[in-house]
Amino acid sequence: GANTPRADASGMSAGALRRVATRFEESGAAVTWELAYGCFRRPARAGVFVTGTDTGVGKTLVSACLVRRWQALYWKPLQSGLADEEGDTPTVSRLAGGESTQGQGVRCFPPAGAYQASLSPEAAARAEGVTIDSALLALPMEAPQQPLVVEGAGGLMVPVTDEIMMVDLAQRWGLPVVLVARSGLGTLNHTLLSLEALRARGIAVAGVVLNGPPNPENSRTIAGKGKVRILAEIPHEAELDAPTVERLAALLPPWSEIAGA
């Protein structure tokens, strides 16, 4: 079979290649080949998009751990449910900004849309009589070499507008995805379907973070059948505070491994 050409080799023209193929066929040999093409796009800035297989799988905790581990910036583009909770931006700021950051704190960009109802962004905005303007959902470009952790709302197929889902925003932004999934029963179907949806759109996957009690069998199955790296397995914690997040953050790989993947 073919191999790496010599350093001094020069490529054939299309005409020369046809003549060589014809000579092969005339001598009774057979020539087969496969063609592949791809479109590769460098992200507009350093960072990842954190999404989940469902609501409540631990995206905000993982986002806080990533911010802490990488000393990253943070952006929650769309926030709903503010009638019931403080919101993910102050939560990440509080959890990731421990004392050992030498007082630097966490730089969080404000959401492009924040709504009261615990609904999808589209439904929560509609309940307040507004429509989400997708033009406002542009990646913050401040400090583009510093990692930015972008946390999505719900899972990939959560509606943002009548025409846009969260997965469409992930594709638009072009950041590699960190997929957060439960570790226990039911995670295989949800996780493998989410990976399939991402790859069908050509979205790069940085890896999966499993959240909950250790489950080696599920971890192996997701890594093998999903052809994906398990970035970390985050155990259940009874209490979440800045020291806990600092400890959990050490389970995640350094930014250099994600940036170089």
Q: What are the residue numbers of the active site? A: 76
- CA separation for the pair 4, 135 (Å, rounded): 46
Strand ranges, E, within the chain: 47-52, 73-75, 78-79, 108-109, 113-114, 148-155, 177-182, 205-211, 230-234
| DSSP structure string for 109-128 | EPPSEE-SSSS-HHHHHHHT
What residues form DSSP beta bridges with 230? Answer: 208
3-state secondary structure of 208: strand
Rounded Cα distance, 84 and 135, in Å: 28
Tell me if 208 sits within 8 A of 228, measured CB to CB: yes
Classify residue 87 as exposed, middle or buried by CB count within 10 Å of its CB (0-12, 13-18, 19+).
middle
Quote the CA–CA distance of 228 and 235 in Å, as a whole number: 20
Are 151 and 75 in contact by the 8 Å Cβ rule? The answer is yes
